[in-house]
């Protein structure tokens, strides 16, 4: 799995999962029409220069996932990720999130990186736990999605925790 900047031509590959109910079950968007996916990808590509780094995750030359690192003030960044359901449970999501943390801490020298997920989204929560991120709390009813108000668990990791994990002081799940 390798991350590279998302390109507009990737929209058809992204649409292969953005059109699926299971891929956006806990999200405020979707399932997307082709025009909605094109609009998302167009916006994501244009946002690179504004510090919203949306990457395509390529596996064997095919785009099968997406990983976003969005810069904020105070040397903070937010991560988000998605994987084609046909590959769920094979470590791809964890690999994408790990690479986003590496870029954020090792290349961009961020101090804190955070992410959120619906508490019902067990896989997304596991991704962040496996990478040593701490659950800092639960935001109640912060998003309105198709089936009503959604809570969000907030996970974060600090730069020294990332360094400790990378040096083996803290044991991360290294199976992915």
Ligand X SMILES: CC(C)(COP(=O)(O)OP(=O)(O)OC[C@H]1O[C@@H](n2cnc3c(N)ncnc32)[C@H](O)[C@@H]1OP(=O)(O)O)[C@@H](O)C(=O)NCCC(=O)NCCS
Contact residues for ligand X, defined by CB under 6 A: 23, 26, 80-83, 87-94, 117, 121-124, 126-127, 130, 176
Q: Shortest Cβ contact with ligand X: which residue?
A: 93
Q: Are 140 and 151 in contact (CB under 8 A)?
A: yes
Instruction: Provide the angle, in degrees to the nearest 10, between the axes of the packed helices 34-46 and 11-18.
Output: 130
Q: How far is the CB of 50 from ligand X (least distance, A)?
A: 20
Q: Which is nearer to ligand X, 129 or 164 (CB)?
A: 129
As measured in angstroms, the least distance from the Cβ of 15 to ligand X is 14
Nearer to ligand X, 130 or 150 (CB): 130
Q: Which two tokens stand for residue 24?
A: 């956006």
| Least separation in angstroms between CB 106 and ligand X | 20
Residue 68 beta carbon to ligand X: minimum distance, rounded to whole angstroms? 8
What residues contact residue 113 under an 8 Å CB cut-off, 6+ apart?
A: 69, 76, 77, 78, 79, 100, 101, 104, 105, 133, 156, 157, 162
Paired residues of 4 in beta bridges: 56
State the minimum distance, in angstroms, from the CB of residue 155 to ligand X: 10
What Å distances lie between residue 133 and 75, 164, 172, 173, CA to CA? 17, 12, 10, 12
> Quick one: 45 or 92, whose CB is closer to ligand X?
92
Closer Cβ to ligand X, 75 or 119, answer by number: 119
Burial 76-86 (b: 16+ CB within 10 A, else e): ebbbbbbbbee
Cβ-based nearer residue to ligand X, 70 or 130: 130
Pairing status of strand 2-5 against strand 52-59: antiparallel
């Amino acid at each position: 799995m390798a991350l590279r900047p998302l390109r507009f031509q990737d929209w058809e590959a992204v649409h292969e999962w953005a059109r699926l109910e299971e891929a956006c079950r806990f999200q405020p968007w979707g399932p997307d029409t082709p025009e909605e996916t094109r609009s998302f990808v167009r916006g994501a590509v244009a946002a690179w220069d504004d510090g919203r780094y949306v990457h395509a995750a390529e596996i064997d030359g095919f785009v099968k996932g997406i990983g976003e690192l969005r810069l904020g003030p105070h040397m903070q960044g937010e991560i988000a990720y998605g994987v084609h359901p046909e590959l769920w449970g094979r470590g791809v999501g964890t690999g994408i999130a790990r690479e986003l943390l590496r870029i954020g801490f090792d290349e961009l020298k961020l101090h804190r990186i955070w992410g959120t997920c619906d508490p019902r989204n067990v896989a997304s929560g596991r991704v962040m736990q496996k990478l040593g991120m701490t659950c800092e709390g639960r935001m109640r009813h912060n998003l309105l999605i198709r089936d009503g108000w959604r809570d969000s668990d907030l996970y974060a990791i600090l730069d020294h925790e990332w360094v400790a994990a990378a040096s083996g002081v803290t044991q991360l799940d290294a199976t992915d």
